[in-house]
A and B are shown apart, each in its own frame.
Chain A
Amino acid sequence: GAGVSQSPSNKVTEKGKDVELRCDPISGHTALYWYRQSLGQGLEFLIYFQGNSAPDKSGLPSDRFSAERTGGSVSTLTIQRTQQEDSAVYLCASSRPQASGNTIYFGEGSWLTVV
Chain B
Amino acid sequence: EDQVTQSPEALRLQEGESSSLNCSYTVSGLRGLFWYRQDPGKGPEFLFTLYSAGEEKEKERLKATLTKKESFLHITAPKPEDSATYLCAVQAEGGSYIPTFGRGTSLIVHP
Please, how many residues of chain A have a CB less than 8 angstroms from a CB on the other chain?
26
Contact A102 B46 (CB under 8 A): no
Q: Which residues of B contact A103 (CB under 8 A)?
A: 32, 34, 46, 49
List CB contacts (< 8 Å) of A61-106 with chain B.
Answer: 91, 95, 97, 100-106
* Nearest-Cβ distance from residue B77 to partner chain A, whole angstroms: 27
Contact B104 A42 (CB under 8 A): yes
* Nearest-Cβ distance from residue B28 to partner chain A, whole angstroms: 15
Contact A33 B98 (CB under 8 A): yes
List CB contacts (< 8 Å) of B17-52 with chain A.
Answer: 31-34, 36, 41-46, 49, 51
Contact B43 A91 (CB under 8 A): yes
Residues of B participating in the A interface, judged by any CB pair closer than 8 Å: 31-34, 36, 41-46, 49, 51, 87, 89, 91, 95-104
Question: A45-B98, A108-B42 known; 13 other A-B pairs, CB under 8 Å?
Answer: A35-B101, A42-B103, A48-B98, A55-B95, A56-B98, A101-B34, A102-B91, A102-B97, A104-B46, A104-B99, A106-B45, A106-B46, A111-B41
